[in-house]
Chain A
Amino acid sequence: MSPTRACDVLPGMTVPAPIVQPFDWVATLRTGGPAGDRALAELHALLLRAARFEALRRRASLPWIGVAELDDLVLQAADDALVAVLSRLDSFRGASRFTTWAYKFAIYSAAVTLRRRAWRDREVSLAPELWDVVADRGGSPLQQVEDGELRTALRCGIEALTAHQRDVLVAVALEQVPIDVLAERLGTTRGALYKTLHDARRKLRAQLADQGLLEVTR
């Protein structure tokens, strides 16, 4: 029997797809030269696409911003993302596709940029009178009593927080100030503020649990 050559295709045989080596973004970007420059330009184009995608998703929240300004913000976000990606190439572990990994920087950069732009001229109130956080569910007399107790417990719980915890909880949870906007105004980071928010929520939950009211919130 003659050996089957690689080009032979027998009836019923499935021809395997050619093996395509995945493009090694990290190595190519590090290489420099024409190949590195091409990879850099392609990466920027990908980041620009992702930033533009994010801007389109947020367009409705930015009706007063013209096309030219939005394009500038998108370009700025893509540029910032490119810097972030290049500075963190060493941290790419290959746990996802490189493009997915890079996209998240552009999404993050565009989201932060546009949230801050949307709130640029808006005041952030840290002490609103928003205590009626439990809507009147109009239920049975028992439910109305429970709602009243819950409102009182929430008010007391929020007042028992530290001033910083209270400010962050009220701004993010009640005023719905984007956490990046608040972080910028308070000179801190999203992560640090979320930690504060998490601690405040835990204390509030504990307070409600102590009074047997946590079940009422479900």
Chain B
Amino acid sequence: MNDVLSRLLGPGEPEVSCEVCFEELDRYVELELAGADAEAAVPGMAAHLRGCPACSEEHASLTALLIDGSTS
């Protein structure tokens, strides 16, 4: 699917809301960085991150910040 179609149609799977995404983001990112099954802990998070550009950017930033903090 091309990018425009992806943005128009979204993930097409059950997903959490933006509010739940924010509530769980810190736990989710720490689980991901620990190599744990973050999606099992927060079902629907991965789909939301594919569907919501703003939440996805913040997820990427928090991940990068933690990695930066652990390497600097």
Contact = CB atoms under 8 A, between A and B. Distances in A.
Interface of A: 50, 53-54, 57, 95-97, 100-101, 103-104, 107-108, 111, 115, 133-135, 154, 169, 172-174, 176, 178-180, 190-191, 194-195, 197-198, 201-202, 204-205, 208, 217-218
Interface of B is mostly: helix
26 contacts: A53-B64, A53-B68, A54-B61, A54-B65, A57-B61, A95-B26, A95-B27, A101-B26, A104-B22, A104-B26, A111-B57, A111-B58, A111-B61, A133-B5, A135-B2, A172-B7, A173-B7, A176-B7, A180-B54, A191-B19, A194-B52, A198-B51, A201-B9, A204-B8, A204-B9, A217-B9
A111 B59 CA distance: 11
A195 B17 contact: yes
Contact of A205 (B12, B15, B22): B12
Interface residues of B, number: 31
Nearest to A91: B23
B9 A115 contact: no
Interface string B33-72: 0000000000000000001111001100110111010000
Contact of B64 (A57, A176, A179): A57
A202 B30 CA distance: 31
Contacts of B68: 53
A195 B19 CA distance: 11
A50 B68 CA distance: 11
B47 to A, nearest CB: 10
A178 B58 contact: no
The 8 closest A-B pairs by CB, nearest first: A201-B10, A96-B26, A173-B7, A95-B27, A100-B26, A191-B18, A101-B26, A133-B4
Contacts of B64: 53, 57
A184 to B, nearest CB: 12
Contacts of A95: 26-27
Nearest to A95: B27
A182 to B, nearest CB: 10
Given A217-B5, A217-B9, A190 B54 contact: yes
Residue of A108, A115, A191, A194 with highest tally of chain B CB at under 10 A: A194
A201 B66 CA distance: 33
Contacts of A169: 8
A180 B54 CA distance: 8
Contacts of B1: 217-218
Contacts of A133: 4-5, 8
